Amino acid sequence: MVAESAMEASSLRIREVRKSFPAPDDPATRRLALDGISLSLAAGELVSLVGPSGCGKSTLLRLIAGLDSPDSGELMVGAESIVGPNAERGLVFQDPNLFPWLTVRRNIEAGLAARHVLHENRHEVDEFMRLVGLESFADAYPHHLSGGMAQRVALARALINHPKVLLLDEPLGALDAFTRMRMQDEVLRLWQARRTTMLLVTHDIDEAIYMSDRIVIMTQRPGRIERTIPVALRRPRDRSSADFLQLRGEILELLHFAGNAVAI
Ligand SMILES: Nc1ncnc2c1ncn2[C@@H]1O[C@H](COP(=O)(O)OP(=O)(O)OP(=O)(O)O)[C@@H](O)[C@H]1O
Ligand SMILES: [Mg+2]
């Protein structure tokens, strides 16, 4: 069973990473997007990344995914340096980006097929569809799915590669409030079943508190780490408990004092 498989997470280590891009108004000069990011995740840890728009959260995830490289600094998964994309680092975006002409099953299989490993892993496709509760939609096409269901396909498609690290870039940002809360439980259930190391970008403080072991707050661009807040609340968490609301108040106050309140 997938849910009982051995722990396959890896630690993630980011050290003094800087990244610049050509300035849009003057392409001859470069503008710093990330200014010396250092961050470590233990294997199996779930960490949220919060910060104002444009502070470099997606840029950092793209560097970890190996889709881009830093100007300087080091990114490691376990003992290995990140030098390019690899299926062991899954990335899920706000838009599920499903192939509209493929069924749910074929969408989930697509990455395996592209890597020519579908044949030996085909038996897992059914298990993963069950894991995300979509087994009765195997032959449906994306336009038949709700937003939450499509996002579950995107999660299954990333998880079937057995990622050691799962990078989530506002994966629930486009969902309505109720679906979003259900999907938070879904992601937590998958995390608990697989114990994958997860880095979750979110603009939603409640989501960050509900889900993560730690919350990392970034500054305005160029992004630096402003502060890391451990979330010591017992799971499953109660969004209306006094401890939850107290932490929420503290974080909002911190963001306000950091001058980020409006931009987040
Ligand atoms: N390929 C690129 N070329 C030029 N500039 C870029 C590129 N990618 C990102 N940037 C710039 O880097 C900065 C950080 O962008 P990024 O998308 O990482 O922010 P973000 O924190 O994810 O924002 P949001 O919360 O709005 O998604 C921005 O100023 C952006 O314009
Ligand atoms: Mg972004």
Distance, in Å, from the CA atom of 123 to the CA atom of 126, rounded to the nearest integer, reads 6
239 domain residue, yes or no = yes
Structural domain including 248 reads 2-88+162-257
Amino acid at 105: R
Ligand 1 centre distance from Cα of residue 55 (Å): 7
Ligand 2 centre distance from Cα of residue 113 (Å): 29
* Residue 21 beta carbon below 6 angstroms from any ligand 1 atom: yes
Q: What is the best residue among 19, 20, 58 to mutate for testing ligand 1's pocket, by most ligand atoms within 8 Å of CB?
A: 58
Query: Tens of pLDDT along the chain (264 residues)?
Result: 444 344 578 999 999 999 999 999 998 999 999 999 999 999 999 999 999 999 999 999 999 999 999 999 999 999 999 999 998 999 999 999 999 999 999 999 998 999 999 999 998 999 889 888 899 999 999 999 999 999 999 999 998 988 999 999 999 998 889 889 988 998 999 899 888 999 999 999 999 999 999 999 999 999 999 999 999 999 999 999 999 999 999 999 888 765 554 445
Distance, in Å, from the CA atom of 127 to the CA atom of 160, rounded to the nearest integer, reads 9
Indicate which atom in ligand 1 lies nearest the CA of residue 55.
21
**Cβ-contact 8, 72 below 8 angstroms:** no
135 domain residue, yes or no = no
Per-residue model confidence (pLDDT) at position 5: 44
Domain count, the chain: 1
211 domain residue, yes or no = yes
Protein residue with least CA distance to atom 9, ligand 1:
59
Length of the chain, in residues: 264
**Cβ-contact 34, 60 below 8 angstroms:** yes
* Residue 202 beta carbon below 6 angstroms from any ligand 1 atom: no
* Residue 30 beta carbon below 6 angstroms from any ligand 1 atom: no
143 domain residue, yes or no = no
For residue 202, the domain's CATH number is 3.40.50.300
186 domain residue, yes or no = yes
Q: Is the pTM of this model over 0.75?
A: yes
Distance, in Å, from the CA atom of 199 to the CA atom of 188, rounded to the nearest integer, reads 12
150 domain residue, yes or no = no
Per-residue model confidence (pLDDT) at position 195: 85
Per-residue model confidence (pLDDT) at position 182: 87
Token code pair at residue 207: 């989501």
Per-residue model confidence (pLDDT) at position 4: 39
Protein residue with least CA distance to atom 31, ligand 1:
54
Three-state DSSP at 186 gives helix
Per-residue model confidence (pLDDT) at position 255: 82
The residues pairing with 19 across neighbouring beta strands, listed in sequence order, are 34
Per-residue model confidence (pLDDT) at position 1: 43
Ramachandran angles phi, psi of 260, nearest 5°: -100, -5
130 domain residue, yes or no = no
96 domain residue, yes or no = no
Nearby residues of 170 by Cβ (< 8 Å), 6 or more positions away: 93, 94, 201, 202, 203
Token code pair at residue 29: 């000069």
